[in-house]
């Protein structure tokens, strides 16, 4: 889905937590563990 329609609609994703790249393994473990309310983001 293109990002532009989301920006125009005003919808915002729910972000559970932002992990630095160094903690990517922990981010994936958190995603697998659940609950899955919100997004897990890995920053660069």
pLDDT per residue over 3-12, tens digit each?
A: 677 677 777 8
Residue 16: per-residue pLDDT: 84
State how many domains the chain has. Answer: 1
Q: Which domain holds residue 22?
A: 3-43
Residue 2: per-residue pLDDT: 60
Do 19 and 26 form a contact (C-beta atoms < 8 A)? Answer: yes
The DSSP bridge partners found for residue 4 are none
Judge if pTM exceeds 0.85. no
Residue 8: per-residue pLDDT: 79
SS3 29: helix
Residue 20: per-residue pLDDT: 96
Which residues of the chain register pLDDT less than 70? Answer: 1-3, 6
Phi, psi of 20 (to 5 degrees): -70, 160
Q: Which residues contact 24 (CB under 8 A, 6 or more apart)?
A: 42
């Amino acid at each position: 889905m293109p990002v532009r329609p989301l920006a125009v609609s005003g919808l915002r994703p729910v972000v559970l937590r932002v992990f630095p790249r160094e903690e990517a393994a922990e981010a994936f473990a958190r995603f697998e563990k659940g609950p899955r309310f919100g997004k897990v983001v890995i920053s660069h």
